[in-house]
Structures are given as structure tokens and as C-alpha cells.
Amino acid sequence: MRIPKNHRRWWVLSSLGFIVSILVITIGYSQKVLTQPLPEGATGRQERVAVQAQRQMVVAANPLASRAGLAVLEQGGNAIDAAIAVQGVLNLVEPQSSGIGGGGFLVYYNAEQKRVITYDGRETAPMAAKPDRFLDSTGKPLAFYDAVVGGKSVGTPGLLKMLALAHQEQGKMPWRDLWQPAIALANQGFPISPRLHSLLVKDRFLKQNPTAQSYFYQPNGEPKPVGTRLQNPDLAQVLQTVAEQGVASFYQGSLAAELVQTIQTAGGDLTLEDLGNYQAKARPPVCGSYHSYQVCGMDSPSSGGLTILQMLGILSNFDLKGLKPDSPAAVHLFSEAGRLAFSDRSIYMADRDFVPVPTEALLDPQYLRERSKLIRPDRSLGTAPPGQLPAISTTGLEPTAYIACFPDAGCLEIPPSTLTWGIGQAGEFPSTTHISIIDRFGNAVAMTTSIEDAFGSRLMVRGFLLNNQLTDFSFAPEVDGKPVANRIEPGKRPRSSMSPTLVFKFDDQNPEAAPQLKMAIGSPGGSNIINYVAKVLVATLDWGLDIQEAIALPHFGSRNGATELEAGTSIAELQPPLEAMGHRVQVMDLNSGLHGITVNSEGLRGGVDPRREGEAIGI
């Protein structure tokens, strides 16, 4: 389909106006994002070595959690069973990052069915939520922590229902047995780790909650020292009830009533009806090809899978294999691809149950090829505008659909509402955790879970912390008179960057054969998760790095603002040559928590992020 001549001038002028307005908004947005703090910040780095196993492996953010998962695998459980046990323990030993008061996403490979399925446990906004939730009396967005701390930021927790749904459809062992490691540890106690202690020292708000204050702090207000044994009988009882009675005991009854009372007393409006009506969802994955690999991740309401696939699709038009990982040229190309993908993310991606996300158009190879042509080999884009997907109405002034046309590649139909979004502003902070598991049956789990900011909303109920995920919505519901796709609405799930990812290898000799599992990977890190995971994919699939080498490789990239280089690493030395290419460079802590497993000829190989306290363990 071609654009009629009488419409071409209108389309060109409209496109120019669209791009100029987007550039102005995006520059302001990028500058705002980069001035926000990173509350779950860096706590040191220690060298790690890859771990080799023959049959099965667990990689998680704490050794106690990894070992609990491996024990379940040894008892005959599968990857889903192990993930539940791991998450239960992480709720205790890494309480600042995830837990039953939050949510998450799970990407699962069923080896017997040769099928990838994803599970959505993202929190939802209360039905009483209004567009001005995070605006002050003058209509301006609240300061971040004015929005975070308290009940307004708490969304309906989805983690337990997600795990229950995945277990119902995929699990092997009894649900009750999977919670016993966490219950035992909660009763016996566990030592405070150096990372947890460091974050307690830094936090300004947690001790304002009396329950959290008595659990984490001494009477003089100082955090309990490293090595102090923390016992959590309240959480042990909650998990015991969930283990015996199922997840309904969390979403209704006395615990639900206490949870709601805590939130409402702290200024929130979540109700028993919100809890009781929550539904986890099984969704199809978003997948795409990269060289001879298939990469599968989480679709909306996470933007992670789609944005990573956009970056890879753009980068596939360049010879990355011919570049060194620590070269200015490699960092330049990777960062420019990030700018282009993040610019599309900022306007087109949100909860697809509320927003018509144009996934196929955003991943169209010709569209990404045209986007890649914006990248100059010697000069940075600075700030990239979103792609102009729609070209013209097919039905006149009141369109029901738009057509995106590409040179020599035909046209795609796009819902009209994708034209009307303004660019939103959301915090998305890096208090999250990631679990990678491959079992003896060949099944795989990549699961990323979160309570959003470090220690979430700082509200604690019966031994667990409640999330502040509603601050992942755009604080401003509209920009320049245009509604923001990621604005808050009743029952809506905030956009996420969590990027649990599975990679498969195509058989070059037999293209019709099902691709073979190659990797499970993911990370915490707020919106930088996307760059962290994409970096590991490029490092392993293009540069041939071992999974541990790829994870440890210094971070770099752009979220369509400054080009970010990891402080204290060799990559920071690239600041002068990148600035000579027009990059605005920011050297900063980039605190990932990448945990990955690759499949090789000898079995499984696990990598752990040296920036955190995780462990890869297998047999």
C-alpha cells in the first residue's frame, strides 16, 4: 500500500512536528532520569569464577537461596519447584529486593513440550487509583521519596499467585514441601550479610516503621551488625499457612485484613476487593531471532523483552563480531542502539491489557533496519526520537487504523492510539533479584522478582515488606495534552524493565528442528536491566565470552540520555574518545545482579555477578 500523493505533504509536516516535540520532551526526561539516586547501590565487587555442572544448576543472589533450590532439584523437583524454594529463602535473606509483598515475571521452558511460556505476577493499581495520585497540589510530580514511602505506592502483590499458577501448570513436587526451607530458616535465623547491612546503613526511611525498626535495627537506631542472626517467626507462620492452605490465605482472611489496614493507615487505598480480585496471568513470550539464535523474553507489561529484541535487531545490521568488547566503536554502537530502543519504549510500551502495544511493528526487521541507519559510525545521536510508526489514516479524518509503510517492505496496520501517547516519567529503581535454573529434565526458569525500591514502601506486615511498584507508573498522566501510555489507571499493571530471558540455538543443518536451549539470564537494576541483559547476550553470542566473563564485563550503554560507563572499571577509560564522538558521558556505579546459565558440550555453566553476593551451584 502506498501513501496517496495528496497526503504526502501532510504526513511529512506531521512527522517533523512529531519528531521535534518528542526531542524536546525526551531531552528533559533523560536529564531527569539521570539525576535520580540509585537506592540499592553498589556494595563492592569480588572476583568470581564460572561453575560447571553436568545435570542441573541454580544461580541466585544468596548462597542460602541457591542451596535451597538445588536441594529441591535433588529431591526430584523441577525448575519451577526449585524457583519457589529459592524465592522463599530470598524473601528472608535479601528482604530489600523481593518477596511475597511484591511481584515478578517468570519465563519457563518446558523441555518435554519444547514450549516457552511466561507468567505475569506484576502488581496492579487499586481500583480507587486516580490519575493525579503522584501529583502535588499544584499538579507537579511529587519528589520520588514523597511518593514511595507509605501506602500510596503499594500495588496489589502478585508474586504468590504467579508462583501458584506456574506450580499448578508445571510443578512436580507438593506445594507444601517447597516452602519448608524458608520456614526452617525463618525460625532458626540467618546471619545479616554485608550487603544487607550496608543497605540498612544507607536507608533513611525504614526505621520510621516500628515493625521494621525492631527487626533490622538496634535500640540506639544503628543497624544490627553483620553476622547478627535474624529470626523471623512472623514470616515463618505466614509461609506455613500459605504452604498448608494455599495462596488464598494471603489474599483473604486475617492476613489480608491486616495488610489492607497497614496500607490504608499509611495513606493508601488498596482494599480487600483489590486483593481478592488479583489474577496472575500466563502469557505468550515475545521472541525474536538474532544471528543463529532465538531470544525469548517477557512481553508487556514488561518492556524488557521487547526493548532487548529491538536493540538486537538494530545491532544485527552491524559487524559487532569484528569489534573488541572494550573498544570505543563497540560501546558507541551498543549505546546508540539503546538510545533508539529506549526512545520507542518511552512512548509505545505499557500494560497491553490497557494499551495497544505495536509489538510486531516495533520488531519488524525493515523498521529496525531503517532505525539502524540513523546510527553514524563517528557521531552520537545524543537523544533519539521514537520511531514514526504510523504513516497515514486509512479511513480519513477519524481513523480506525493506521498504516506504517517501509521502503520495499510493504505496510503494517497500527492501532490509532499509538500515535497519541506522550512520553512518561517513571522512576524504576533497582531493588530486584534474578534467579536462573536449569533442571535435569532440560526445563529452564528465568525469573525476576521485585519490590521496586530498596525495602519497597518501608511498610512491614508480619515479617515481610510491601512493594512500592506503583511508582513505576508515570507520575504525570499526560504530557503536552497527550495521555501517557504508562499512566496509572485502576487495575492496571505498571510498566517494568524486568528482563528474564531464555536463549535457544537454531540447528544450521536442520532449520526445521526445534531450537535447543542455550542460556537463561536476567538481572535486577531498574531500567538499566535492559542494557545489562543485552550486554551479556552480545558478549556471549557475538564476542564468544564465557558466561562469567560476560557478566563480569564492565557495563556500558545508554537509556537515551547520557552514555553510562561503569565506575572503577577499565571501560571508564573510554570517556575521552566517546566524548570526542559527541557522547555525553556519565561514569557511575552500575549495580547489576546478573545470574546466568549456559548449556555447553560438558553440561551447564553458571555465572554470578561479582557486584553482589550470589552463588552458582550445581551437580
User: pLDDT: is 38 or 497 the higher one?
Assistant: 497
**Cα angle: 335, vertex 341, 342; to 5 degrees:** 85
> What one-character-per-residue DSSP string does 334-361 give?
HHHHHHHHHHHHHHH-S-TTTS---HHH
Distance, CA of 596 to CA of 601 (rounded, Å): 17
Average of per-residue pLDDT across 379-389: 90
Distance, CA of 13 to CA of 235 (rounded, Å): 60
pLDDT score of 543: 97
DSSP annotation of 454 reads: T
pLDDT score of 10: 31
Residue at grid coordinates 538510545? 339
Distance, CA of 175 to CA of 180 (rounded, Å): 10
On the question of pLDDT at 34 being above 80, the answer is no
> What one-character-per-residue DSSP string does 176-215 give?
HHHTHHHHHHHHH-EEPPHHHHHHHHH-SSGGGSHHHHHH
User: Residues 138, 146: contact at Cβ < 8 Å?
Assistant: no
User: Residues 348, 362: contact at Cβ < 8 Å?
Assistant: yes
On the question of pLDDT at 396 being above 70, the answer is no
pLDDT band at 21 (very low <50, low <70, confident <90, very high): very low
On the question of pLDDT at 269 being above 70, the answer is yes
Q: What percent of the chain has pLDDT above 90?
A: 81
User: Residues 476, 425: contact at Cβ < 8 Å?
Assistant: yes
User: pLDDT: is 588 or 2 the higher one?
Assistant: 588
Q: What is the pLDDT of residues 544-581, one digit of tens each?
A: 999 999 999 999 999 999 999 999 999 999 999 999 99
User: Residues 617, 68: contact at Cβ < 8 Å?
Assistant: no
Average of per-residue pLDDT across 281-298: 97
On the question of pLDDT at 32 being above 90, the answer is no
Average of per-residue pLDDT across 195-208: 94
Picking from 389, 381, 377, 407, the residue whose alpha carbon sits closest to that of residue 348 is 389
Q: What is the pLDDT of residues 349-378, one digit of tens each?
A: 999 999 989 999 999 999 999 999 999 999
- Report the mean per-residue pLDDT for the chain: 88
pLDDT score of 134: 95
On the question of pLDDT at 400 being above 70, the answer is no
pLDDT band at 511 (very low <50, low <70, confident <90, very high): confident
Residue 265 appears among annotated catalytic residues:
no
pLDDT score of 37: 41
On the question of pLDDT at 401 being above 50, the answer is no
Q: What is the pLDDT of residues 140-197, one digit of tens each?
A: 999 999 999 999 999 999 999 999 999 999 999 999 999 999 999 999 999 999 999 9
For residue 241, give the H/E element and its range: helix 233-245
Range in 1-15, 65-79, 139-153, 509-523 with the lowest mean pLDDT: 1-15
On the question of pLDDT at 618 being above 80, the answer is yes
On the question of pLDDT at 395 being above 50, the answer is no
Q: What percent of the chain has pLDDT above 70?
A: 86
Question: Hey, which residues does 447 pair with through a beta bridge?
Answer: 106, 435
**Cα angle: 199, vertex 203, 209; to 5 degrees:** 120
Residue 198 CB coordination number (10 Å): 17
Residue at grid coordinates 552500575? 590
**In Å, what is the CA distance from 71 to each residue of 110, 173, 183, 445, 596?**
21, 12, 15, 16, 19
pLDDT score of 480: 81
Picking from 299, 302, 303, 331, the residue whose alpha carbon sits closest to that of residue 315 is 331
User: Residues 169, 129: contact at Cβ < 8 Å?
Assistant: no
User: Residues 425, 475: contact at Cβ < 8 Å?
Assistant: yes
On the question of pLDDT at 482 being above 50, the answer is yes
User: Residues 65, 156: contact at Cβ < 8 Å?
Assistant: no
Per annotation, catalytic residue among 307, 432, 501, 563: 432
User: Residues 229, 189: contact at Cβ < 8 Å?
Assistant: yes
- Please give the backbone phi and psi of residue 201, each rounded to the nearest 5 degrees, phi first: -60, -40
Q: What is the pLDDT of residues 292-329, one digit of tens each?
A: 999 999 999 999 999 999 999 999 999 999 999 999 99
Question: Hey, which residues does 232 pair with through a beta bridge?
Answer: none
